[in-house]
Amino acid sequence: MSSVPISAFLALALILFCIGLYGALTKRNTVIVLISIELMLNAVNINLVTFSKYGVAPAITGQVFALFVITVAAAEAAVGLAILIALYRNRKTVNIDEMDQLQG
């Protein structure tokens, strides 16, 4: 049953994370950026679950953490989309390049 090695799980998490990071850093549409962040969070979740099962000291803690992350990610997505809608109402754009009010 345990024919799938740990490295496969970790490789999946790594690929997911890299795709998420790439999207978060390069996409111009803010919605895509938020989705990419979700991807990265999920990559983290896979990591957590993998180590809670196959780690040096397997424990339930990792899975509990994964649940927490899912919860927080849901909340974050709600808040992020709400902010995005507010921004869109003001600026008539979802383009992340144009959201540069924080510049020095």
Contacts with other proteins by CB under 8 A lie at 21, 24-26, 33, 96-97, 99-104
Enclosing H/E stretch for 49? helix 30-54
Cα diameter, the chain: 56
CB of 33 vs other proteins, minimal distance in Å:
8
Question: Which residues share a beta bridge with 29?
Answer: 95
Enclosing H/E stretch for 3? none
> Looking at beta carbons only, is 49 or 87 nearer to other proteins?
87
> Looking at beta carbons only, is 61 or 95 nearer to other proteins?
95
CB of 21 vs other proteins, minimal distance in Å:
7
Amino acid at 85: I
